[in-house]
Amino acid sequence: MSFVIAVAGKGGVGKTTTAGLLVRYLVENDLTPVLAVDADSNSNFNEVLGLEIESTLGDAREEMKSVGGQNPGMTKDMFIEMRVNQCLAEAEGFDLIAMGRPEGAGCYCAANHLLTDCMDRLADNYRYLVVDNEAGMEHLSRVTTQRIDLLYVVSDPSRRSLTAASRVASLAKEMGVLKGRTYLVLSMVRGDPPQVLLDTAKELGLEVAGILPDNEELAACDLSGQPTSQLPADNPVVRAAFEMFAATIDGNGD
């Protein structure tokens, strides 16, 4: 069974950048194969990883609802399994799949059931799953029954963001989708983090796993549309992220 790592946090805190660096870390340390899952409705995980996506699970779900979406002689489960595999974008050491837009009007129960079954069977082909989430966890539980083994909640150095991170961690526990540990990742930190920031994280019950510095090279890379997961190995953000992953992941997926 795959070891599932989820990355969550409110928008704009470096969540997807962290998830991209995590995929890179796993690949470079031969902890493969990896399935990267874009579970954010504002999908951009592929841009961070430098991949193109042609279709999403949402597209497959919509096609299955329509009569014309199925080929003659093909059952619904055969069709959706085929389309799930077609949604995969392949790269060296990892694949990427995007969940796509959220559910619209009407009942999607049958479609979601088939998607869940296919996603779980697909996930079993990978050593690690890296899920780039929105702030909530509900969409993950609707598309896969696999539980989260490790959760990184990412926050910028502000109390409001820390509070949001704490709520995400609490939600994951309340929903029963988390079976492992939760770590806080402090992102975009200038210099040494103030003690009041660390004290606030502790008050909220968040264990700090790593501190990713504010970095002009990363900002320039993002602004130019370059994949931030491909920053040079000596970049301070890459170094800090890799140290954090090494301390919290190694051995967990064996």
Q: Look up residue 224 and give its two tokens.
A: 């130019």
For all residues of the chain together, what is the average pLDDT? Answer: 87
Q: Is the pLDDT of residue 30 over 80?
A: yes
Asked if the structure places residue 254 within a domain, the reply is no
Domain assignment present for 253: no
210 in a structural domain: yes
Q: pLDDT tens for residues 175-229? A: 888 889 999 999 999 999 999 999 999 999 999 999 999 999 999 999 999 999 9
CA-only gyration radius of the chain, Å: 18
Q: In this prediction, what percent of the chain has a pLDDT beyond 70? A: 86
- Total tally of structural domains belonging to the chain: 1
Query: Is there a domain that residue 86 lies in?
Result: yes
Alpha helices, DSSP H, located in the chain: 15-28, 45-49, 57-65, 76-86, 109-123, 138-143, 159-175, 195-203, 216-223, 236-248
Domain for residue 63, yes or no?
yes
Q: Is 243 exposed, middle or buried (0-12, 13-18, 19+ CB in 10 A)?
A: middle
- β-pairing, 208-213 vs 178-189, is parallel
Provide the pLDDT for residue 24: 98
| Residue-range definition of the domain harbouring residue 184 | 3-248
Q: Is residue 107 part of a domain?
A: yes
How far is CA 228 from its chain centroid?
Answer: 15
Condensed to tens digits (0 to 9), the pLDDT of residues 129-183 reads 999 987 777 666 766 767 899 999 999 999 999 999 999 999 888 888 888 999 9
Q: What SS3 state is found at 76?
A: helix
pLDDT of residue 235: 97
Question: What CATH number is attached to the domain comprising 177?
Answer: 3.40.50.300
Which helix (DSSP H) or strand (DSSP E) does residue 97 occupy?
A: strand 94-98
